[in-house]
């Protein structure tokens, strides 16, 4: 390296000694629009076209340069850069024997393939190089820590290859997961065969408009520091630890059947059927403990009417005639559930508030959850964020989902509330003979049991309604 190059190396790796051997793994923590995918494509082309792996391949076997991303569309971006590099050089273009939407097959028995971030896609292949794109934002329904699971499956696939290369590139996010752990373990360590490089957007790509970055910092300093400054976010933490959650999971319990005399409550997370799943959860309280009885999920695509009909059958088995859900779809959930004899009530808490009320039940071990891997994974993936002004929000990470977790937490929290209360209007000289609007459901039913969860005492006091 020249003196200028050495200074850049030291600045972005935290190392003082210059390397004398190639790195076995490279971890690039780089700001948005820093050219990460183009760099990854260049490395992939070099590994695929300029190295000979035939001595370690069995008859009929092909070596694979694998590009993994959160979804295929994102992986195709890298594949597009790779194809452009190969096609722009006639010598390399002649090496292409065939090409599909998801692979480029070369005449030297090497294939460049794209895959979604799944440990299943890796097994059975001889991987000579792997490009893990935007690792900090991978998600999976099969594991609470998908990045570590995928890397654990990837490294054995590279074990028989001389000098394989694992290149993980991403903008940073929360201080957890494989990217954060690699930064903690290997950044600034002289002589370490695992190299971690951390650089802001402008250091990697001087062509980006500095005004765009300045405005981003002005709008959201914490978010911009991660997106463009390549710093891990300090305002995003895990909602619940694995140990705490696992302590509430009853091993082997997949569901609980309905029992006579038990009061059950239900929460539904509706969906239009094209993208998100539609989920239903049922719970009941027994003493001081709330038990989750059932979680049902229907993944997209599906017919919303058909799913509502199926969920209504399940609700009737548990003698449930009222279900709570969010404001999705306006009047649609109310109308469809009403057609099956089920009253749909809009939740009086936001999703973050429901998770906030659910957390004390976890910490005090007053909830029993089902042994459902997908449900556990969604809870463990939840992020807790604190915005400017101190407002806290709890939600799934970007490109993630929490349909089952939302329904389960909603049902558990609803089960802790007392049954609907007897309500009446404020007394008048002639007595409470005239009904008023119920502060909970808006109905007119003096001396009648409100069909929904009870409001708070303060809400009752303000509205002129009283407990009877």
Write the pLDDT tens digit of every residue in 193-234.
999 999 999 999 999 999 999 998 888 887 888 899 999 887
Task: Provide the pLDDT for residue 144.
Answer: 53
Residues comprising the chain, all counted? 468
Give the helix/strand (H/E) hosting 165.
strand 165-170
Closest CA to 126 of 57, 75, 67: 57
Phi and psi for 286 in degrees, rounded to 5?
-135, 100
- pTM > 0.75: yes or no: no
Dihedral over Cα of 290, 284, 452, 277: its sign: positive
pLDDT at res. 258: 93
Question: Phi/psi at 77 (nearest 5 deg)?
Answer: -60, -50
Crossing angle for the helix pair 403-415 and 351-363, to the nearest 10 degrees: 70
Q: What six digits make up the tokens of 6?
A: 């050495």
Q: Give the whole-angstrom CA distance, residue 140 versus residue 399.
A: 10
| Model pLDDT, residue 366 | 92
What pLDDT was estimated at residue 329?
A: 65
- What are the respective helix, strand and coil percentages of the chain, to the nearest 5? 35, 25, 40
pLDDT for the residue numbered 435: 41
Closest CA to 135 of 223, 213, 54, 68: 68
C-alpha torsion angle, residues 13, 16, 18, 20 (rounded to 10): -100
Report domain 3-234's class.
Answer: alpha beta
Domain boundaries, the chain: 3-234, 242-415, 420-468
| pLDDT for position 73 | 80
Phi, psi for 281 (deg, rounded to 5): -135, 145
Report strand pairing: 236-238 vs 383-386.
antiparallel
**For residues 32 and 230, what is the distance between their CA atoms, to the nearest angstrom?**
8
Nearest to 417 by CA among 465, 460, 452: 452
The β-bridge partners of 25 are: 166, 194
Please choose, from the candidates 267, 221, 241, the residue with its C-alpha nearest in 3D space to the C-alpha of residue 379.
Answer: 241
Q: What pLDDT, on a 0 to 100 scale, did the predictor assign at position 272? A: 81
CA distance linking residue 64 with residue 125, whole number of Å: 7
pLDDT at 331: 78
Average pLDDT of adjacent 10-residue blocks, the chain of 468 residues: 95 94 92 88 92 88 89 82 93 94 92 82 82 80 66 86 90 86 93 94 92 89 88 78 89 93 93 84 94 93 91 94 82 88 89 89 92 89 67 73 92 84 35 42 42 43 40
What CA–CA distance (Å, rounded) separates 328 from 321?
20
Q: Which residues contact 218 (CB under 8 A, 6 or more apart)?
A: none
Specify the CATH class of 242-415 in words: alpha beta
Per-residue pLDDT tens digits for 369-398: 999 988 988 888 887 776 555 566 787 876
């Amino acid at each position: 390296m020249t003196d200028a190059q050495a200074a850049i190396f030291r600045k972005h790796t935290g190392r003082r000694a210059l390397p004398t051997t190639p790195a076995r793994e490279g971890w690039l923590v780089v700001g948005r629009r820093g050219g990460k995918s183009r760099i990854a494509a260049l490395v992939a082309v070099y590994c695929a076209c300029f190295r000979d792996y035939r001595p370690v391949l069995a008859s009929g076997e092909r070596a694979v340069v694998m590009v993994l991303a959160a979804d295929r569309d994102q992986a195709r971006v890298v594949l597009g850069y790779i194809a452009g590099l190969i096609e722009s050089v006639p010598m390399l273009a002649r090496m292409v024997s065939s090409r599909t939407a998801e692979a480029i097959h070369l005449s030297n028995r090497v294939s460049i393939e794209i895959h979604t971030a799944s440990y299943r896609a890796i097994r059975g292949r001889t991987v000579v190089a792997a490009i893990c794109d935007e690792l900090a934002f991978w998600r999976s329904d099969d594991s609470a820590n998908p990045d570590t699971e995928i890397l654990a499956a990837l490294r054995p696939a590279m074990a028989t290859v001389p000098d394989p290369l694992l290149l993980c590139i991403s903008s940073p996010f929360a201080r957890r997961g494989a990217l954060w752990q690699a930064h903690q373990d290997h950044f600034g360590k002289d002589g370490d065969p695992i190299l971690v490089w951390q650089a802001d957007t402008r250091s990697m790509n001087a062509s980006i408009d500095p005004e765009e970055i300045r405005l981003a910092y002005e709008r959201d300093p914490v978010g911009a520091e991660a997106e463009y400054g390549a710093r891990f976010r300090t305002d995003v933490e895990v909602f619940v630890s694995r140990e705490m959650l696992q302590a509430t999971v009853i091993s082997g319990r997949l569901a609980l059947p309905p029992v006579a005399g038990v009061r059950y409550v239900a929460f539904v997370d509706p969906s239009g059927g094209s993208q998100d799943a539609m989920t239903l959860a049922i719970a009941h309280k027994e003493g001081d403990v709330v038990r989750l009885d059932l979680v049902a999920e229907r993944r997209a695509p599906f017919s919303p009417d058909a799913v509502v009909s199926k969920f209504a059958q399940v609700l009737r088995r548990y003698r449930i005639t009222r279900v709570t859900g969010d404001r999705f779809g306006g009047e649609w959930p109310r109308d469809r559930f009403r057609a099956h004899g089920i009253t749909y009530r809009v939740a009086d808490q936001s999703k973050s508030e429901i998770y906030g009320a659910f957390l004390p039940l976890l910490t005090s071990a007053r909830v029993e959850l089902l042994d459902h891997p997908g449900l556990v994974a969604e809870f463990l993936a939840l992020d807790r964020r604190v915005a400017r002004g101190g407002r806290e929000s709890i939600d799934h990470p970007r490109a993630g989902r929490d349909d089952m977790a939302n329904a389960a937490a909603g049902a558990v929290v609803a089960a802790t509330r007392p049954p609907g209360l007897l309500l009446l209007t404020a007394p008048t000289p002639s007595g409470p003979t005239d009904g008023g609007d119920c502060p909970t459901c808006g109905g007119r039913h003096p001396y009648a049991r409100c069909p929904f969860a009870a409001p708070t005492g303060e809400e009752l006091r303000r509205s002129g309604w009283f407990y009877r």
